[in-house]
Structure 1
Amino acid sequence: MNRKMKTIIIDDEPLSRDELKFLLESFNDIEIIAEADSGEKGLELIMTKEPDIVFIDIEMPQMSGLDLARAIQNMKKTPLIIFATAYPNYAAKAFRVDAVDYLLKPFDEEQLFETMTRVKERLKQEDKMDQLSPIARLAVEDEGRIVYLSPSDIVYLYREERETIICTKERRFSLKTPIKELEEKLKGYPFFRTHKSYLVNLDKIEELIPWFNGAYQLKVEGKQDEIPVSRNYVKSLRERLEL
């Protein structure tokens, strides 16, 4: 993992926040992006800034650290939680909300180093899972509504001027997202770039037809369109298609 870990500190005691910030400055891969003096402000920051890590005090007025941890459990991107508190008696409850660690004040540098080693390993594993896990649905706008397409229903995509056209067997959808960005989102599904402007679902290909100067055209399932295959992509495409 080469990126910096975005971090938020949430504690109602300014001196505790300052102490933790000072200790975290020794980690080159930590970036403290915000701090909050209450659970409510912390929740707002977590939702808007999407940190990788949050250090949370437990005993805070109104919304406690445990309440805050429970509130963020259903977020799409849940940060790793590290409780930083003066009270040892909450440890069991802390780990029920999947906390990575439980640090006691005053902070011990060696224990903090061990915690950050554990955090880095967790984030590294999550990054790997993100790369391996394909999206379940692709959201596209259709006449003011949001339609969720299954990638397996997409026959091909192509770029036309400033829009990307997504073709299913029955419909066409237009969106502004560049084809390269959609190619990234569709990783894990059998899509192949046949041309700088075309991305094709390999499972939908019916014919590969020689054209001219080493280029080819594709016939795909349920479509009359002939899709270009540039010479640069022909060899890789044949290797993917032929057993």
Structure 2
Amino acid sequence: MKGPIQALVVDDERFSREELIHLLKQHEAIQVIGEAESGDTAIMKVLQLQPDVLFLDVEMPRMDGMEVAKAVQELKKVPKIIFATAYPDFAVDAFRHDAIDYLLKPFDEEQLKDAVVKLEKRFAPQMDASQTTNQPPSKLAVEGEDNIHYLDPENIVYVYREERWTKIVGKTHTYETRAPLKEVEHRLRGFPFFRIHKSYLVNLDYVNRLTPWFNGAYQLELQSREEKLSVSRNYVKDLRKQLEL
């Protein structure tokens, strides 16, 4: 990617749009290429202008920011999302849309600077032609009852689905989320996680031993865990390829 990161500012309040645009112009890495006063207008301008990032308000009439974020996921070029809102209560839903950041009004210049830095890091693989893989996010956001935990994927041993919950097993704690296992797997792309069963993902860095069990299935022993996990025979061959030199 050459040149600055192109941004579209979406907010139904003109003053908020003008304030954010003014602050963004102080960052050379960002070029504001347009603004929209509603969700449906935002969709049209995304199609016309092809921005790299949306600075997106949440509370808007007719079509709110969450609906806009969901709609743009269906486009060929999906812009990054940074939510900018006066309401902190939507943060959990925001990160379900893979939001890069969540800015609160009135805008804090340091918080905005941090968001721009995150954007630059996210686009850095595209700016460096020698780097062919996308840089994964540094933390996995897992919403709790009244807070959000940010987990280092390197400290996650395995993940599994049980009834309506996806459980994330770390070295010392287990966390729960209602996000589907497939969604968590997608968010962990770029890290050494491998599906061993329709309901299980394991961090290959924690694998100690693979032993035959029955009917072509295997059992997996993991570092720091006493339990053994069942490896479906449908995944054994590919798992061995991942583990062996």
Per the normalisation by structure 2, the TM-score is 0.52
What is the letter of the counterpart of residue 209 of structure 2? E
Cα-Cα RMSD = 4.4
Detail structure 1 runs of 4+ shifted over 4 Å in the superposition.
Answer: 5-12, 49-53, 70-73, 128-131
Q: How many Å apart are 1:139 and its aligned residue?
A: 1.9
* Residue of structure 1 in register with 2:56 after alignment: 47
Is contact 1:6–1:31 with CA below 8 Å preserved after alignment?
Answer: no
**CA 1:222–1:71: 2 relative to 1, 3 Å:** closer
* Residue of structure 2 in register with 1:210 after alignment: 212
**CA 1:207–1:77: 2 relative to 1, 3 Å:** same
Is contact 2:194–2:202 with CA below 8 Å preserved after alignment?
Answer: yes
Residue of 179, 182, 186 corresponding to 1:180: 182
Structure 2 Cα separation of the partners of residues 185 and 73 of structure 1:
24
* Residue of structure 2 in register with 1:32 after alignment: 45
What is the letter of the counterpart of residue 213 of structure 1? N
Q: How many Å apart are 1:71 and its aligned residue?
A: 10
Structure 2 Cα separation of the partners of residues 130 and 72 of structure 1:
30
* Residue of structure 1 in register with 2:195 after alignment: 193
Residue of 215, 221, 224 corresponding to 2:223: 221
Is contact 2:144–2:177 with CA below 8 Å preserved after alignment?
Answer: no
Q: How many Å apart are 1:130 and its aligned residue?
A: 11
Q: How many Å apart are 1:132 and its aligned residue?
A: 1.1
Q: Which runs of 5 or more structure 1 residues have no equivalent in the other structure?
A: 13-19, 22-29, 35-44, 54-69, 81-97, 99-121
Q: How many Å apart are 1:72 and its aligned residue?
A: 10
Q: How many Å apart are 1:76 and its aligned residue?
A: 3.6
Q: How many Å apart are 1:183 and its aligned residue?
A: 0.9
2:87 matches 1:74: no
What is the letter of the counterpart of residue 214 of structure 2? F
May I ask how many residue pairs the two structures share in their alignment? Answer: 160
Equivalent residues in 2 for 1:55-134, closer than 5 Å:
74=113, 76=115, 125=126, 132-134=134-136
- Deviations 1:21-57 (CA, angstroms, capped at 9, x unpaired): 9xxxxxxxx94259xxxxxxxxxx833257959xxxx
Structure 2 Cα separation of the partners of residues 206 and 173 of structure 1:
23
**Per the alignment, in what secondary structure is the counterpart of residue 172 of structure 2?**
coil
What is the letter of the counterpart of residue 200 of structure 2? Y
What is the letter of the counterpart of residue 151 of structure 1? P
What is the letter of the counterpart of residue 231 of structure 2? V
Is contact 1:192–1:201 with CA below 8 Å preserved after alignment?
Answer: yes
**CA 1:7–1:139: 2 relative to 1, 3 Å:** closer
* Residue of structure 1 in register with 2:149 after alignment: 147
Q: How many Å apart are 1:203 and its aligned residue?
A: 0.5
* Residue of structure 1 in register with 2:140 after alignment: 138
* Residue of structure 2 in register with 1:166 after alignment: 168
Per the normalisation by structure 1, the TM-score is 0.52
**CA 1:8–1:223: 2 relative to 1, 3 Å:** closer
Which structure has the larger Rg? 1
